[in-house]
Structure 1
Amino acid sequence: MTLSLTVTDSADPADVEAIGRELTAFNDADVGPSGRRPVVVLVRDEAGALKAGVSGYTAWGWLYVQWLFVAPDLRGQQMAGKMLTAAEDEARRRGCHGAFIDTFNPAAETAYRRQGYEIFGELPDFPPGRRRLFLQKKL
């Protein structure tokens, strides 16, 4: 059998989907189904414009907050905490026992720690001059 190895920044979406499908099948057989479900929290103004949001998912009893955004005019008003509380409440309803998030932004670190998250890992110089922090919280 002859194999080829390709590195690309423009993979066929069907190939990327196949990687996810195969890994999911492996993990399901190894540790059981994840029960992965999206969690999205949206904050809109009176005109319907998106001003802040959280996007993540629950799986294997954990909430993972993948993205959290707050528009500049809402920063400093504890909006991140309000959205995290909403996402955490939903995760608890789904039976989750923990939550995790990562950031390289010092202001975000402060907001997450205020919300009860604790650092459990760090990558220095990711990006250069900063540190990427991984935080978790028991729900």
Structure 2
Amino acid sequence: MHLTFETTDNPDPKDERFIETHLSAFNDADVGASGKRQLSVFVRDGTGTVAAGISGYTAWGWLYVQRLWVSESLRGQRMAGRMLEQAEREAIARGCHGAFIDTFNPSAAKAYLRQGYHPFGALDDFPAGRSRIFLQKRLGEGSGRR
């Protein structure tokens, strides 16, 4: 069999879906169905424009917050914490027992620590001069903020 390798920064979405579908099928057979579901929280201004938001998913009993953004005008008002609380409530309703998030922003890390997240790992120089910090939190009874 002749094989070729293709490296690209512009993959065909169909190929990306192919990999995701086959990896999910493999993982489901290996450890059971993930029950993966998207989870987003949006904060909108009076015109309906997104002013802050969370994008992530729940799977295998965990909430993964992939992206969290707050507009400049809303920073310093506990908006990240309030959105995380919303996402965590929904994750608990979905049967999740934990949540995790990562950041290389020191201010964001402090906000997550205030919400009861605890570091469990870091990658130094990701990006250069910073550390990418990975944090987790137990959800449900007794997991409140410190």
Fold match (TM-score > 0.5) = yes
TM-score by length of 2: 0.94
Number of paired residues? 139
Read off the aligned partner of 2:97 and give its amino acid letter: H
SS of the residue corresponding to residue 17 of structure 1 reads helix
Read off the aligned partner of 2:51 and give its amino acid letter: K
- Name 1:46's counterpart in structure 2: 46
- Name 1:107's counterpart in structure 2: 107
Q: Give 1:119 shift.
A: 0.3
1:137 matched to 2:112 = no
**Counterparts of 1:77 and 1:129 in 2: how far apart (Å)?**
28
- Deviation beyond 3 Å, 4+ runs, structure 1: none
Q: Give 1:10 shift.
A: 1.2
Q: Give 1:80 shift.
A: 0.2
- Name 1:21's counterpart in structure 2: 21
Q: Percent identity?
A: 63
**Counterparts of 1:47 and 1:63 in 2: how far apart (Å)?**
30
- Name 2:143's counterpart in structure 1: none
- Name 1:62's counterpart in structure 2: 62
SS of the residue corresponding to residue 15 of structure 1 reads helix
SS of the residue corresponding to residue 126 of structure 1 reads coil
SS of the residue corresponding to residue 129 of structure 1 reads coil
Q: Over aligned residues, Cα RMSD in angstroms?
A: 0.5
1:15-59 deviations in whole A, cap 9, x for unaligned? 111000110000000000000001110101112111000010000
1:82-124 deviations in whole A, cap 9, x for unaligned? 0000000000000000000000000000000000000001000
SS of the residue corresponding to residue 42 of structure 2 reads strand
- In the alignment, structure 2 segments of 5+ residues that lack a partner are 140-146
- Name 2:98's counterpart in structure 1: 98
SS of the residue corresponding to residue 20 of structure 1 reads helix
**Counterparts of 1:44 and 1:7 in 2: how far apart (Å)?**
39
**Counterparts of 1:80 and 1:12 in 2: how far apart (Å)?**
34
SS of the residue corresponding to residue 54 of structure 1 reads strand
- Name 1:124's counterpart in structure 2: 124
Q: Give 1:2 shift.
A: 1.2
SS of the residue corresponding to residue 28 of structure 2 reads helix
TM-score by length of 1: 0.99
